[in-house]
A = this chain, B = another copy of it.
């Protein structure tokens, strides 16, 4: 059935149902590990993963609007709003009314927000770094390739918007 363009025929063994099932479970278990460390930090502050995601992307692109953030996160504005409200109340995020278009709100991390961001990211990076180091650069390249191929095209847009490093 599947022909990748490889020379032989047995290259296709990596597409068996068993192999695919292993991949599916690997994603499941790895994602749990991936979120475990930040989750512990968040719990201390009475926040959840939703707060983490908001903080992460506001840090990545300071001044982005609520609408943009909604589309990156793939949630409804009502859902995001609850999270955002608590972050603003707690003084981690600042929301400034747009200069040109006063309907827009531009989001920024405060000092305190940046501090939490660093703590969360560093915890997550530490695990990622360990995994990268254990697997090696070749494996990391493959890891990224497969993940990118797995994204919805719409989401991939946001991903590639990052200034690339290659």
Contacts and interface: CB of A to CB of B under 8 A. Distances in A.
Contacts of A24: 34, 121, 124-125, 128
Contacts of A128: 20, 23-24, 150
A119 interface: no
A112 interface: no
Interface residues of A, number: 69
Contacts of A151: 26, 29-30, 32-33
Contact of A30 (B3, B131, B141, B150): B150
Given A23-B143, A128-B24, A165-B22, A4 B136 contact: yes
A130 interface: yes
B121 A155 contact: no
How many identical subunits does the complex contain?
2
Contacts of A129: 2, 15, 20
A2 B33 contact: no
A166 interface: yes
A53 B28 contact: yes
Interface of A: 1-6, 11, 14-34, 36, 53, 60, 74, 121, 124-125, 127-152, 155-156, 158-159, 162, 164-166
11 contacts: A2-B133, A22-B165, A23-B132, A24-B128, A29-B152, A30-B146, A32-B152, A131-B150, A135-B142, A142-B142, A143-B147
